[in-house]
Structure formats: C-alpha cells, structure tokens
C-alpha cells in the first residue's frame, strides 16, 4: 500500500533532523581533538623552551676565581704574566738529552723529579699569598691537574707549613672534570667563605718535531668573592668552529667574539679563526712550549689575569695532551 503523496514520510523527517546533528557532532569531536592536540603541543613547546633555558643557564655557570698564580719558563714573578706576557721575551730553550726544552729556571733537578720540585715551589708561592693564611679552615676540597707525585709533593709542602687540609680530592684532568667541578662548587660550596683549591704542574720531557717540551704550574683560589669568572670550556668535535665559538659566546653572554684571545699553540690558533676568535697577536707557544693536559688550564689562568686587569672578556685556545682542540673564555664580572 502506498503512502499518500500529500503526507511526507516519517523517515525522511527523521533523517533530515538526525544527519545534520551527526555531522555537527563529528565536527565538534574533530575540533575538540584538534584543540587538545594544539594545547598539548603548546605545553610541550613551553616545557621544551623551559628545559632549554635551564640547560643554557646551567652551562653558563662558571668558577669565580679570587687569586691566580702561575709558574713557568718565565719564572715566578707574577707581573710577568700580566698583559698576556707582551713585555716578556721568550725564554731560551735548554739543551736536552733528545731535544731542546723550555724549563722553569727555579727548579734544576733531574727530569724525573721535576714535577714534585715544581709542585713544592708552587706550594711555597701559595703559602705566601696575602690573606690566605686565615682562610684555610674554610677550604672544602683540592682539585689537582697532573700526576700523583706532584700532588703528593704539593700537599706535603702545605702540611709541613702547618696547614690542615680537607681529605676531599676532586678530579681535574680535562674539560669534563672542569664541568663537574663547576657543578660541585655551585652545589656544595654554599657558605660565603667556602672555597676550592685548584692547582697543578706539568713537565713535558719530549714533544713532536719542531716543538719544545715545556713545564708550568698554576694555582686558583675559587671562592664566591672572586671577581673573575672562568666559564666551561669545550672541545672541537662534532660542531663546526663557527658553531662552537657562538656557543662559547652564549655561555659568557657576549654578542660577539672577545676582543682579546690567546693561543698556546698554532693548531688551536688556526682552528677558530673562522669563528672570529683570532689570537694572532697573542700566540704564546714560544713562552710555554708543549704542556699536555695542563695547557688548557694555563690558558684559562692567563685569560683570568687578562680579564681582571682590563675589565674585558678574554678567550683562550689550546690543545690538550690528546691533541684535542679546546676553547673557552674568562670574564671579569664574576657570578654577581
């Protein structure tokens, strides 16, 4: 039996009402899902940005250094190490058993005994620092660069002078150890008078052809009143020199390359020119010779002295004992 043509079907009315509602519901669900995804993406981007900012903030930390001492072929007169040693003539190489060497004039012992002798002399320089005698009780740890014989001689000289030293010893042989040291200082040295002693010596008996084995020593008093700051250094590895130079500048909050840079060897001097870090005027290989793992720390020490004297950032470039190219910067305004 046919439905009267003048009366509309009920099903038609139902579909005409339900279909738009279904489409509207589907659209609403799609919009809701899209909004949830958009919200989650915004939350993710904000979390990522916060994590990146926290990473850069942590990587921009450094060690505030109050006192710096240097010992090298130029001697132990600290004024000779100011102004990146521009007023000091390169020392004469001393004939050696296999090749000439640069040697500290204050220690004339046999090669096998040179590092302990240098360490003892560095300890005497440390004990003579003005104002340090009353600060020993606040010393929290010693970080040493170099061999055990040098460290033992340095510690023994201090103990013989009546200094009571903490038992804590921290590794400081490369830039990764420097990273850990920076984090340790900011985490554990909470007291205003807390400080760390960083020091080391090296005596390199032989070097590659065309280079001179050198020797040196350094001392830092790392404490909150320090007005110079040494930032984390980095090795040239997967990044390009331009990228690594930009990273160093961001660590130090610099808009461009430091106006003054020093290099302790010609390979590092040439490697970072592309990034705008030029050390042509301050190539110090002739003053120090090859210093193996101590070289980056001598570069940092010279940069700290330069930053403190001029009030301007100073970059340093060097190789380590594994011939890894390293870069870093010291700035004059501390952690304030």
Q: Mean pLDDT of residues grouped by 10 in the chain (336 residues)?
A: 52 64 77 77 75 84 97 94 89 73 72 85 96 95 96 97 96 95 95 97 85 93 95 94 96 94 95 94 94 97 96 96 96 70
Kindly report the number of other CB atoms within 10 A of residue 321's CB atom: 16
C-alpha–C-alpha distance, residues 75 and 80, integer Å:
8
C-alpha–C-alpha distance, residues 226 and 335, integer Å:
8
C-alpha–C-alpha distance, residues 292 and 301, integer Å:
15
* Burial category of 218 from C-beta neighbours within 10 Å (exposed 0-12, middle 13-18, buried 19 and up): buried
Instruction: State the pLDDT at residue 334.
Output: 59
Does the domain at 62-331 match CATH 3.40.50.1820? Answer given as no
- Parse the chain into domains and list their residue ranges: 62-331
Instruction: State the pLDDT at residue 15.
Output: 61
* Residue tagged 């040697």 (tokens): 103
Whether 330 and 309 have beta carbons less than 8 Å apart is answered as no
Beta strands in 225-307 (DSSP E): 228-231, 234-235, 260-263
State the sign of the Cα–Cα–Cα–Cα dihedral 230, 236, 238, 244: positive
Instruction: State the pLDDT at residue 328.
Output: 97
Instruction: State the pLDDT at residue 35.
Output: 78
DSSP character for 189?
A: -
Instruction: State the pLDDT at residue 96.
Output: 63
C-alpha–C-alpha distance, residues 300 and 316, integer Å:
6
Instruction: State the pLDDT at residue 73.
Output: 93
3-state secondary structure of 11: helix
């Amino acid at each position: 039996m046919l439905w009267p043509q003048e009366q509309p079907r009920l099903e038609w009315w139902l579909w005409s009402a339900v279909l738009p509602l279904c489409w509207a519901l589907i659209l609403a669900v799609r919009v809701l899902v899209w909004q949830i995804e958009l919200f989650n993406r915004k939350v993710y981007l904000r979390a990522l940005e916060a994590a990146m900012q926290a990473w850069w903030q942590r990587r921009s930390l450094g060690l505030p250094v109050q006192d710096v001492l240097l010992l090298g072929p130029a001697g132990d007169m600290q004024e000779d190490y100011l102004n990146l040693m521009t007023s000091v003539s390169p020392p004469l190489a001393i004939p050696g058993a296999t090749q000439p060497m640069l040697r500290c004039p204050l220690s004339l012992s046999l090669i096998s005994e040179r590092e302990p002798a240098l360490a003892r002399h560095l300890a005497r320089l440390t004990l003579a620092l003005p104002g340090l005698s009353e600060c020993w009780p606040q010393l929290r740890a010693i970080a040493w660069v170099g061999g055990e014989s040098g460290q033992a001689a340095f510690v023994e000289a201090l103990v013989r002078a009546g200094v009571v030293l903490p038992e804590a010893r921290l590794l400081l042989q490369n830039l990764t150890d420097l990273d850990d040291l920076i984090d340790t200082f900011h985490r554990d040295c909470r007291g205003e008078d807390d400080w760390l002693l960083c020091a080391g010596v090296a005596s390199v008996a032989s070097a590659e052809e065309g280079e001179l084995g050198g020797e040196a020593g350094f001392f830092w008093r790392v404490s909150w009143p320090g007005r110079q700051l040494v930032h984390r250094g980095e090795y040239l590895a997967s990044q390009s020199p331009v990228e690594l130079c930009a990273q160093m500048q961001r660590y130090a909050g610099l808009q461009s390359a430091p106006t003054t840079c020093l290099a302790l060897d010609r390979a590092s001097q040439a490697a970072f020119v592309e990034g705008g870090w030029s050390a042509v005027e301050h190539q110090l290989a002739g003053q120090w010779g090859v210093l193996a793992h101590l070289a980056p720390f001598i570069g940092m020490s010279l940069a700290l002295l330069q930053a403190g004297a001029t009030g301007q950032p100073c970059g340093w470039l060097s190789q380590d004992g594994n011939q890894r190219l390293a870069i870093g910067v010291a700035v004059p305004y501390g952690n304030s």
